[in-house]
Amino acid sequence: MKLLNKILLSATFTGICLNAFAYNMPPFTNNELKQAADSFIIKDLPNQAKKYYQELNKRNDKVNATWGLTLVDLAENKNQDALKKVNFLLTQDRVKTRTLENLQAELLVNLAEEAFYANNTPLAKNYLQTFFNKHDGHYQFQQRAKFLHRKMNASIPTQQIKVGVILPLSGKLANVGKQIQNALTMALYDEKLSNITLVIEDNESTQDGSINAATKMVNKGVNVVIGPILRDNVLAANTVISATQVPVFSFSTDRSIAGGNIFLNNINTQQESYEIARFAADIGKHTMACLTPKSIAGDVEQSSFINAVKSFNYSLKKCSKFEASNIDINPALKDLLDINKNERIRKAKLAKLEKEFEKLGLAMDDEKINKMEELRNQENIYDIDFDAIFIPASARKIPVIAPQLAYYDIDFTNGVMFLGNSAWDDTKILKNRGEHLHFSRFLSLRSDQFKGFAKQYKARFNQKPLILAGFAYDVLRLTQQLDFTQNIYPQLHKAEGFNVLTGNVKFNTDNTADRQYGVNKISRRAIKPVLKVQHQRTITRPNELNIVKASGFGNWFGF
């Protein structure tokens, strides 16, 4: 009961503070502001928390405000800003020094890695030297720091790495396979990947072909395998590969096959649903809906989105499903807006009034007669009670869906923001000049590095690369961050992930991929970045929400 009371109290404070900011009400206590801000940090909504911490700062509660804004910086991947704040806090009295020093150590290593992979070696050395001056021998980050130091000073022997690639270069998926092959062959022109030898085999889009290709891979002693694409082909290939413990980076999205030596190097639909819901919640969209395709992936996207919205304690009004193969999504929209339900209610009310009119005629009450006429003329009764709607669909499908939504007044002109997954991130979405899609937000994995890669790819092959091609190239980048003289499986699950072409990828303990997403918007008939794709993993938030040491009197005075 005490825990429930605390949760209710926290929610009350949050609501009070929201109203205070909205209507310029008199200020509340610093403790109430901090509790409200902390609750947003716990929910992973830093943008919502920021204004409360800024208010604390205005009230001269410098230590609590600075620590809160440090947590915001971490969530927003602003590590340089976070480091400055941590350095300031370490000069203050009665703070939890160990927490701050551990965070300082992690920030220094993280910033050194970021600078190194951005080809700014002098800056990387500066951060690393500061780390060794302040935290040499650190129990958690020393190994990372030493590995980077050796890499910068070229004291790590160049490892010759054989990468096996199993692709459908013939058969029904040959077009996809050849695009991925094209991307991988571009590694021949990348000096940083000169130690890689590619062993590419065609699986002919079949299970038997996958087994044959895998057998050749094993005989040639490959260190890692990229592919195949389809679930059944991955399982077929792994009947041969699993005994060698060589990691397989497949393109399947089926979570049921992940584990052991099989990694899913593709989109994580559960993560995407969470990320876009979190983004919408963090910019103040409190009532949401979703429209998802009738498919296995659509079911995952819908349930994940629902769970995400609930985790933020925000309102999910309704979700509906549409036939992905059908151009007309009107049935799904009627279900979303309860139009059929409202029509049944209208008919029932009208029938009741008409029955009464048969008995009374013009003697019937004027108000009821007017209501009866109003009900006769009504059609498509609905109410738009949400301010954001999630639609996971392809960039080709969205321009077909958007006008149908607009017919029911669901678009930006009525205050509704469209939310999309990374499948939106293609210029095909601008068909019809992006009509009805203005101010939409959607996820992106097309980092600046990927865009540069895409230009080179198009110049060489006269077409844009699939994002799958980027994921394949990611594996080549990833191998450069592994030490093959050691057990590579613990390395593959490292918390900081890998700096790769499409941003940063970390493999969860179940071998599914967790990626760093950017967010784009559609504005003035163009795709524009809102949040850029980051190559460094967001640092995990410290458990400490209170950085001030408690006094001898406990928490009585709020210390």
Which structural domain, as residue segments, surrounds residue 318? 270-444
Domain-embedded: residue 56: yes
Domain-embedded: residue 535: no
Q: Are strands 287-293 and 315-322 parallel, antiparallel or unpaired?
A: parallel
Q: Pick out the chain residues at pLDDT < 70.
A: 1-27, 155-157, 342-343, 378, 381-382, 551-559
Same domain, 203 and 304: no
pLDDT score, position 423: 95
Residue 486 tokens read as: 């050691």
Per-residue pLDDT of 389-415, as tens digits, reads 999 999 999 999 999 999 898 988 888
What is the tally of structural domains in the chain? 3
Same domain, 303 and 427: yes
DSSP string, 334-360: HHHTTHHHHHHHHHHHHHHHHHHHHHH
Domain-embedded: residue 532: no
* 422 close to 443: Cβ distance less than 8 angstroms: yes
Same domain, 361 and 279: yes
Distance separating alpha carbons of residues 333 and 402, to the nearest angstrom: 11
The residues near 278 (Cβ < 8 Å, ≥ 6 apart) are: 44, 45, 308, 312
Q: Name the domain boundary from 89, 120, 152.
A: 152
Domain-embedded: residue 545: no
pLDDT score, position 242: 93
Per-residue pLDDT of 278-325, as tens digits, reads 999 999 998 999 999 999 999 999 999 999 999 998 989 999 999 988
Q: Measured between alpha carbons, how far apart are the two ends of the chain, in Å?
A: 24
Same domain, 461 and 410: no
CB count, 10 Å around CB of 462?
Answer: 7
Distance separating alpha carbons of residues 509 and 507, to the nearest angstrom: 7
Q: In what order do the strands lie in the sheet with 518-523?
A: 315-322, 287-293, 388-390, 417-420, 441-444, 518-523, 526-531
* 205 close to 178: Cβ distance less than 8 angstroms: no
Same domain, 73 and 203: no
pLDDT score, position 551: 67
Per-residue pLDDT of 223-235, as tens digits, reads 999 999 999 999 9
Same domain, 179 and 165: yes
pLDDT score, position 433: 77
Domain-embedded: residue 19: yes
Per-residue pLDDT of 117-146, as tens digits, reads 888 999 999 999 999 999 999 999 999 999
Q: Are strands 513-515 and 518-523 parallel, antiparallel or unpaired?
A: unpaired
Query: CATH no. for residue 461?
Result: 3.40.50.2300
Angle at 45 between CA 39 and CA 49, to 5 degrees: 60
Nearest CA among 167, 432, 397, 390 for reference residue 300: 390
Domain-embedded: residue 534: no
Same domain, 132 and 192: no
Residue 491 tokens read as: 């390395």
Mean pLDDT of all residues belonging to the chain:
88
